[in-house]
Structure 1
Amino acid sequence: MRTRRRVGVLLLALLATQLGSLISPAYACGCGAMIPGAGGRIGVSREASVVRWDGRTEQIAMRFTVGGDAKRAAWVMPVPRRATVTLGDADLFSQLVDLTAPEYRTRSYFWPRHGDWPFASGSRDVAGAPPPGAGEAQVGVVGRERLGDFDVARLTATDPDALRTWLEANGFKLPDGLSTELKPYVDQHWEYVAVRLVPREQGATLGGTLDPLLIRFDSDRLVYPMRLSRLAKTAQSLGLYVLADHRMEPASAIGGNAPEVTFAGRITPKGSVAGLAGTAPVFLTAIDQSFPVPSRIDGDHELRAAAADTPYRQVEYSDELRTAGGIPVWILTIAGAVAVVTLAGLGLGRRLRTRRTR
């Protein structure tokens, strides 16, 4: 049966699954840039992202699963407005996976297939249902907090080279090309969330699933900054959970394969989901998208309300041979047909014998 999909990273509306290389520095991941310390290697095997947007404020809960041999790393994400950063709720992600899980159904078939008697044994077929103004060149630190595994700095920057200066002052080298990709954000007067990932145990390497972060900022549009993923050397995949008033969809594919909605429906939030979205009913949209050639990414994702709040849930089928009382129906049918023919033959023979004796 098809395995469950999911997982993701920041701004937009729900989770992102990102694949990264563990044998080379990972300079791009989802909507941010991951920069290992000198001589280190780090890969992001998964980013999970949930976005809550109410038309005025955007909240992004994200969680990294990383591996490699880096003892520290930096992650930089552009944001359109001044942001606040707190630790998020790890249970949020598992609850959304459960809410958006496919519906499993069983359907029967009449004639035996491979694996059914009298054919050779083997695995049964499983079929899935198809889815229906620049200022001075400087960096300003507007806030800095220690949150779990993270040293979080919130920055303003009027020039990409200023961000380079800040990174280098904190022991990180800005990768070639990242300065160019950051310039459009600088031109639009965006700010940055810069995070140093530092293990709590001295001398330990970064690995496993890190504490989730929750980033909040004002925004009158739902934006997911994907531009920095252009620097990725391997194919990227995006899994996004969006909590909003309506079903949401990307305005364009921004250079990737066509986005696929894997769940859409109105829910009444409970538990950790209610902690992010409140208790009033809200529309949840889950979106998957792949980027086979990251260099083709030509901008940021912007999500908009779909034409209608049409609900959708994936259906996965398990096929089973139709039986009655534990006996395959096809055997009962054939046996019944043979019995009928036999009785009809006996009846016909009896009538013929009766005529001959007259």
Structure 2
Amino acid sequence: MRGTTHRILTTLVALLALQLGSLVAPAWACGCGAMITRPSERIGVDREESAVHWDGRTETVVMRFRVHGNARQAAWVMPVPHRADVTLGDPGLFDRLEELAAPEERERTYFWPREDDWPFDGGHGDGASAGAAPGASVGVVGRERLGPFDVARLTATDPEALGTWLRANGFELPARLTPELRPYVERKWEYVAVRLAPEERGEHLYGELTPLRITFASTELVYPMRLSRLAAGSQTLGLSILADHRMEPRAAIGGDRPEVTFSGRIDRPDGPVAALTGGAPAHLTVLEQRFPEPSRIDDDHVLRAVADTPYRRVIYRDRLLTVAGVPAWLLTAGLGAAVITVTTVLLTVRANRRRRAPSPA
């Protein structure tokens, strides 16, 4: 049994290197998959953003990566619990979600001048701060070209037949992925493997890549994270969730405590958000999480419904308190000086009158 499991893992890992040549090695791991490129090239993921819609039966994940490095092509893989459909995502989705979850801006004033205000600013500043056929043994259940992506949907039900197919296609193994895939093999998950390449030959993969949209059946909201253990440096995950209720991770899975940056009901979704939810209202939860030491990641994110408590971050913009454009502190100081001056004059006049008054006989 152990030998069979090892062969399954071995052939799966090989297939993840689809279309990348005879030698590949993992260079980076994303929050929900692994980036693989050639040994002579490097690719780094600056940020991963994902929008997830879950209706209790079906989960749709739209992912966008911002990358850097000198790689001209790379592969990326995501484990999924059931058969997946893959299409291109709408780049405008993330902009719209950002607008919906934008922090509230409030203004607050302060009385005494600060270092950027006159007279401490040296005369500068303005005083404000800113499917395989039945019986088939080869585990390739679908393959399609989507824009700049070559997408393969994979299974591993027959390691001998799959291994034969891989050897015929000249794939070698990035061995570091093997132990990380074991839990997915044991649970009989499937895989989405994607080859990424710029549309213009000779260009490097750099900046924001076109989003991918992956849909699969799931009775729980799960976001695969285990392959992130291979990341070479700290990572940040941004996750926007559209569901019937506010959703939060059950555990930190080895990272910092997840932070909710927005929670609110979207009664009338529009544009790309409506396309994701099918036009149905949804509760939007936005999460941020840092993973300073990715090697500590020990599981996938499983999210649960919690109380629909609304939350929106507030950004305060401080402004020096003014009256008719004049700093209030200056008016107060001037008024105080005037009061002191008038009081002093009155007391002096009164004292002089007393001195000049004739003494009683």
TM-score tier by shorter-chain length is 0.7 to 0.9
Single out whichever of 165-174 and 87-96 deviates more from structure 2: 165-174
1:164-215 alpha-carbon deviations (Å, 9 max, x no partner): 8766665654322211110100101111111122333445443333221110
Whether the 8 Å CA contact 1:126–1:317 is kept in 2: the answer is: no
Whether the 8 Å CA contact 2:224–2:300 is kept in 1: the answer is: yes
Distance 1:183 1:161 in 2: 17
Give how far 1:309 is off. 1.1
- Is 1:72 matched with 2:73? yes
Single out whichever of 261-270 and 217-226 deviates more from structure 2: 261-270
Q: What residue number does 2:152 align with?
A: 153
Distance 2:174 2:42 in 1: 13
Q: What residue number does 2:177 align with?
A: 178
**After the TM superposition, which residues 44-63 of structure 1 pair with which residues of structure 2 at under 5 Å, given as runs?**
44-63=45-64
| AA partner of residue 100 (structure 1) | A
- Is 1:35 matched with 2:30? no
Secondary structure at the counterpart of residue 30 of structure 2: coil
Q: What residue number does 1:10 align with?
A: none
Secondary structure at the counterpart of residue 338 of structure 1: helix
C-alpha RMSD of matched pairs (Å):
2.8
Q: What residue number does 1:280 align with?
A: 280
Give how far 1:39 is off. 3.3
Distance 2:168 2:69 in 1: 24
Give how far 1:269 is off. 1.1
Label 1:201 to 1:112 Cα distance change in 2 as closer, same or farther (>3 A): closer
Aligned-residue identity in percent: 62
| AA partner of residue 77 (structure 2) | V
Whether the 8 Å CA contact 2:47–2:235 is kept in 1: the answer is: no
**After the TM superposition, which residues 204-223 of structure 1 pair with which residues of structure 2 at under 5 Å, given as runs?**
204-223=203-222
Single out whichever of 185-194 and 156-165 deviates more from structure 2: 156-165
Give how far 1:355 is off. 4.7
Distance 1:84 1:41 in 2: 29
Q: What residue number does 1:142 align with?
A: 141
| AA partner of residue 234 (structure 2) | A
Give how far 1:279 is off. 2.8
Distance 1:148 1:81 in 2: 24
Label 1:283 to 1:240 Cα distance change in 2 as closer, same or farther (>3 A): same
| AA partner of residue 337 (structure 2) | V
Q: What residue number does 1:237 align with?
A: 236
Q: What residue number does 1:298 align with?
A: 298
Give how far 1:294 is off. 0.7
Distance 2:178 2:339 in 1: 83
Distance 2:167 2:327 in 1: 72
| AA partner of residue 30 (structure 1) | G
TM-score (norm: length of structure 1): 0.82
Structure 1 residue runs without a partner (length 5+): 1-23, 128-135
| AA partner of residue 329 (structure 2) | W
1:73-103 alpha-carbon deviations (Å, 9 max, x no partner): 2111100111111111111111112222222
Label 1:260 to 1:169 Cα distance change in 2 as closer, same or farther (>3 A): farther
1:52-72 alpha-carbon deviations (Å, 9 max, x no partner): 111111000112233333332
Secondary structure at the counterpart of residue 26 of structure 1: strand
- Is 1:270 matched with 2:270? yes
- Is 1:95 matched with 2:121? no
Q: What residue number does 2:8 align with?
A: none
Give how far 1:238 is off. 0.5
| AA partner of residue 109 (structure 1) | Y
Secondary structure at the counterpart of residue 173 of structure 2: coil
Give how far 1:264 is off. 1.1
Q: What residue number does 1:130 align with?
A: none
Query: Which structure's residues are more often helix, by fraction?
Result: 2
Label 1:60 to 1:169 Cα distance change in 2 as closer, same or farther (>3 A): farther
Distance 1:165 1:43 in 2: 32
Secondary structure at the counterpart of residue 70 of structure 1: coil
Distance 1:161 1:320 in 2: 71
**After the TM superposition, which residues 112-151 of structure 1 pair with which residues of structure 2 at under 5 Å, given as runs?**
112-121=113-122, 139-151=138-150
Q: What residue number does 2:248 align with?
A: 249
Alignment size in residue pairs: 326
**Structure with larger Rg:** 2
Distance 1:207 1:303 in 2: 31
| AA partner of residue 279 (structure 2) | T
Distance 2:216 2:36 in 1: 24
Secondary structure at the counterpart of residue 177 of structure 1: helix
Distance 1:39 1:166 in 2: 26
Single out whichever of 74-83 and 30-39 deviates more from structure 2: 30-39
1:228-284 alpha-carbon deviations (Å, 9 max, x no partner): 000111111111111111111111100001111111111231111111013333111
TM-score (norm: length of structure 2): 0.82
Label 1:172 to 1:150 Cα distance change in 2 as closer, same or farther (>3 A): farther
Label 1:351 to 1:311 Cα distance change in 2 as closer, same or farther (>3 A): same
Whether the 8 Å CA contact 1:64–1:210 is kept in 2: the answer is: yes
Q: What residue number does 1:258 align with?
A: 257
Distance 1:260 1:126 in 2: 26
Whether the 8 Å CA contact 2:129–2:319 is kept in 1: the answer is: no
Give how far 1:159 is off. 7.9
Q: What residue number does 1:82 align with?
A: 83
Whether the 8 Å CA contact 1:154–1:193 is kept in 2: the answer is: yes
